[in-house]
Amino acid sequence: MTTTSWQDGVYAALKKAGVRQIAYVPDAGHSRLIELAHADNDMQAVVCTTEEEGVALAMGAHLGGQRACLLMQSSGVGNTINMIGLPTTMHAPFLTLITMRGEWGEFNGWQVPMGQGTEPVLKAMGVHVKRAETQAEVVDMVSAAASLAFGSIIPVAVLFSQKLIGAKVFVKEQEQ
C-alpha cells in the first residue's frame, strides 16, 4: 500500500504549474521533493553548490522558455540576498520553496537568527512571501504561489514552517 504525503501533493502542484526544472541545495526537509524530481523523466533536477546558483538557474530557465523552482532552507536565504534582486530587475517569475529552521523545536541556536530574518529579508528584496503552517493548506498554497509567480511575473516564496516539516533532532552517540 502506497501512502501519499503532502510533499507528493506539492510536487504534483509544481508539475501542474508547468515547472520543468528544480534547483536545490541538499536539504532533508525537501528530500521527498528532490527524490520525486530525480525520478521524473520530464523534470530536470539540478543540485547546486550554493543557493545563488539556484536563482541564476531559475532566471536562465525563464529566458529559455521554461519554469523552474528553487528548493532551499531558510539558512540559505542569506546566501541569496544579492542575487534575489535579479528576478525583480529582470521582471521575471521566480518561485522558491523554503524549509524553515530556527523555529518550533529547534536544537541548533545557529539556525535561529536566519530563521527569524528570512521573511523580513525576502520582503525587503521585493519577494511576495506566503507561509504554510499545516499539511491541509500547503498544496493549495504552493499552487496559488506558482500561479502568482508565473502569472504575474514576480518573485514568490513559500515558507514551510518547521512545525510542518518537523524539527530536526540531534542525536548524540552514546559512549560505549
* Exposed / middle / buried, residue 40 (Cβ in 10 Å: 0-12, 13-18, 19+): middle
Q: What is the pLDDT of residue 173?
A: 60
Return the domain boundaries, the chain: 6-165
Over residues 66-73, mean pLDDT: 97
Q: How confident is the model at residue 110 (pLDDT cuts 50, 70, 90)?
A: low
The answer to whether the CB of 109 falls within 8 A of the CB of 170 is no
Element containing residue 46 per DSSP (H, E): strand 44-47
Pair 84, 127: CB distance under 8 Å: yes
Q: How far apart are CA 127 and CA 124, in angstroms?
A: 7
State the Rg of the chain over Cα.
16
pLDDT band at 175 (very low <50, low <70, confident <90, very high): low
Fold of the domain built from segment(s) 6-165: Rossmann fold (3.40.50)
Question: What are the residues whose beta carbons fall under 8 Å from the beta carbon of 20, sequence distance 6 or more?
Answer: 42, 43, 44, 61, 66, 67, 68
Each residue's pLDDT tens digit, 81-109? 899 999 989 999 999 999 986 566 555 55
pLDDT above 70 as % of the chain: 84
pLDDT tens digits for 116-153? 778 999 999 999 999 999 999 999 999 999 999 999 99
What's the whole-number average pLDDT of the chain? 88
Over residues 111-125, the pLDDT tens digits come to 655 667 789 999 999
